[in-house]
Chains A and B, each alone.
Chain A
Amino acid sequence: MNRKALLLLVALLVMSLSLGVVAAQDSEIPSGGTVIVVQAGRGQWSANFNPLSPNPSDGTRQVMYDPLVVFDPLDGGEPTPWLATSYEYSEDATALTFHLRDDVLWSDGEQFNADDVVFTLELVEQFPALDRQGVLNFFAGVEKVDDYTVTVNLVDVYSLAHTVVGKQRIVPEHIWSAIEDPVTFSNDSPVATGAFTEVTDFTPENYLLCRNPNFFLEGQPYVDCLAYPAFTGNEQSNLAIINGDVDWGGNFIPDIDNTFVALDPEHNHRWFVGVNPWGFYVNATKAPFDDVQFRLALAQAIDYGTIALTAENGYIETPQEVAAGIWPQFQTFVPESVFEKIREMGLGVFDVERAAQTLEAAGYTDQNGDGWRDMPDGSPIEFTVQIVNGWTDVVTAAQIMSQGFQDAGLNASVVTPDQTTFQANLQGGNFDTSLGWAIWGETPWNFFDNIMNSTRVDPDTGNSTGQFQSRVFDPAWDQLLQDFLQSVDPAEQQAIIGQLVDAYVTNVVHTQIGVFPAWFEYTTSRFVGFPNADDPYAIGAPWQEETARLVATNLRCADAASCGE
């Protein structure tokens, strides 16, 4: 095809695109109205609209400041172009280039361009406390290629760099370059590119984020404002949701089908998609948890079905493969041999008798006659299952688990410290066993890296820097995790994940009790356009930092009253 023909084609494409927009507007999407949003009980507001700060007010990272690319965990991390239209790695994979939209304006009318992206990344480099994404793990500088093209240089090959830089929230250079300390900057009158940028009526009780007059998606958002009332806790916000005071919620509501949906089945809905893997960690630096047979017996003594039904009200399913650490969207990564192994070992299947047999065979018997099994050398075994106080669903899960352990002859009990103590215990290796979440990522690598990477433990303090670990380690696994990052060949990456899954399963590193959903409930009596099972365009939870923007820009009022007319 010659150049002229190509140009013509592009012109045609552009025209048809703009025609599409006009057609969409002709169908008269009603606009207006204020959507009441509850992300979770967070207490009272203190204005902080700094998207790089560790605790911005709700909505700041969701609908106010934009990433280059939107990654939806629902699509297995399929990217939706946002501020960037596309990205590509260089030939040797040590540079990552983003092509930016050229039609984006900041909410104050200034043009958004490559300078802002360069400025933001350099700001993060200068102030590591702003590195929410982990860009500095591989960052070796950023270059402006032209006004709408930016190249990020990588220290080494880092095959997940696009997911990290892609999620970086971009801040305006023309405002932020004058800010002396961007870490403590609370950004009370934000200038951003997102759909909702205008902070209105801010009080510690409530605030509104209203539409960005210069938002780059023509005609969107359809609603005028999002309102964020503050609630002191889940009980309070649940009551408001059940009472019909909230349009868009992201709460765990016990028995939601009866307590919420049934009140108005026509309008009240919930849509739960699994995104949050929860599991059982042991502390393998302590006996008997260093014994793989003991860990296996524990895994066999967990009543997965009852946990799903009782603790989580049946909102989660725990198929055997999930319990072994493999979610449906990642199953293609897993060799058949691993599935066979899972079945053979009885992972993910509740069978107390089998657990007892496993323990018996490994030499854990009751030697002192107190009714509980002891170590092969005769010393007693007694351990706790740790879980956060007040997180009622998982506390129930921990109780069900400890019951299963007791039935298998183990002296287990549940302890419930507060969240910070829980966290400090887990990271410091100061626990016996614990329930806890794991990290969901764009690829299975993120999950395994967090759980199996020994380099995450600080050799001096013994603190795991960051995520939770059972502390079952092997230098070979560290190498595999490193190799994955330095590989750009999908087949090779798949083979590496296969090996990691195999090691994870064979060594019973960690046991999953289920993938918890992104809690999401909504009422369509005032606003429509929420994602659901029939139209799963994004994860619906309003707190979801990446995808909430897709939902917020798609909502529209249902009738004249809710449109504010």
Chain B
Amino acid sequence: MRFLVRRTGFYMVAALIAITLNFFIPRMMSGDPVTAMFARFQGRLEPRTMDALRETFGFVDAPIHEQYFTYLQNLLQGNFGTSITAFPAPVTEVIGNALVWTLRLAGTATIVSFVGGTLLGIFAAWKRGRFSDSVILPFLSFIGAFPYFFVAMLLLYILAFGLKWFPLSHAYDLSIRVDWGSPEFVMSVLQHAALPAFTIVITGMGGWMLGMRNNMIGVLGEDYIVMAQAKGLSDRRVMLTYAARNAILPSVTGFAMSLGFAIGGALLTEIVFSYPGIGFWLLSAVNGRDYPLMQGIFLMITLAVLLANFMADVIYVMLDPRAR
């Protein structure tokens, strides 16, 4: 229990530092939101209008420390401000709309990728040198070694554009009304999610598989495995409860991290497939110098990663009594 209390204190400090960096880093970039907006208009805004807009967005030249304290104050009140790229929508609304899709796609795909990769890794280590170890593992590692962008574009071009097996873009067929009660709409959502999810799973699985396999091999040499086998336990029992349970510990931390980052959206997936989500908003926010939205998204990612890490700590304690 002391361990967890200590960790909680650590996370609080980390969160505070993150919140502060969150404020200062975006402001170090050149240009401000109004310049960015003007840039998008290709110069068709009047100077006077730009000044008035700066005032509207609250970017008058208050000293930076004053701005910082206003920011903290607003944060405590749960007020993230108004987005500028999606002006005049509040940041919470923008994030809320996008988060649903992100969790659905990136969240599910990350879990599938982890579970699949880990199971394959266990299997590959158990049956070393057999099909899963000598064919699937190199193949997945090979795909994982390509830049994600390239794999996604290639699959989009071949499977969606060329063969027309999958839709080209968007999260559902735009000619259907959004209605979660209608099977037609749900089918369409699944259809549209299939290819983007597949790209995330196939590119991520190799890493999980390799990591798990190597951990397993280390564990399989331990005496207690030999003992378990000598006791006459079933192969399955030895593989899963004796070997895998001990080998999975390092992977859990990695998984918690990646789950936290999944909240940040699968940026490249969202761009390649024109799929709604947090990642694309983050990119727009950076390009548009949309400080409020950037702060909102970064804060959410930070908190998600911290929370996921905390969960990992808890799971660790449960899995490994030595950590208690």
Contacts and interface: CB of A to CB of B under 8 A. Distances in A.
A73 B210 CA distance: 61
Contact of A421 (B29, B51, B85): B29
A128 B48 contact: yes
Contact of B39 (A128, A227, A423, A465): A423
Interface string B188-202: 000000000000000
Contacts of A337: none
Interface stretch (B9-17, B226-234, B279-287, B310-318): B279-287
A422 B39 CA distance: 9
Contact of A55 (B37, B46, B169, B273): B37
Interface in B59-114: 82-83, 85-89, 93-94, 97-98
A129 B56 contact: yes
Interface in A227-243: 227, 229-233, 236-237, 239-240, 243
Grouping DSSP codes into helix (H, G, I), strand (E, B) and loop, the A interface class, with mixed when no group exceeds half, is: loop
A48 B89 contact: yes
Interface string A209-242: 0000000000000000001011111001101100
A236 to B, nearest CB: 4
Interface stretch (A75-83, A179-187, A250-258, A261-269): A179-187
Nearest to B37: A54
Interface string B283-299: 01001110000000000
B177 A201 contact: yes
Nearest to B270: A232
Contact of A204 (B51, B97, B288): B97
A401 to B, nearest CB: 20
B4 interface: no
B52 A128 contact: yes
Nearest to B54: A129
A144 interface: no
Given A230-B274, A236-B274, A419 B287 contact: yes
Contact of A44 (B36, B98, B178): B98
Nearest to B39: A423
Nearest to A43: B284
Contacts of B50: 465-466
B45 interface: yes
A122 interface: no
A330 interface: no
Residue in B29, B51, B271, B288 whose Cβ sees the most chain A Cβ within 10 Å = B271
Interface of A: 43-44, 46-48, 50, 53-55, 127-134, 136-137, 183-186, 201, 203-206, 227, 229-233, 236-237, 239-240, 243, 245, 417-425, 427, 437, 439, 450, 456, 465-468
Given A239-B161, A439-B43, A450-B43, 13 more contacts: A43-B281, A46-B93, A54-B53, A129-B56, A134-B46, A230-B170, A231-B169, A236-B168, A239-B168, A420-B287, A420-B288, A423-B31, A424-B35
User: Top 3 nearest A-B pairs by Cβ distance?
Assistant: A465-B47, A46-B86, A129-B52
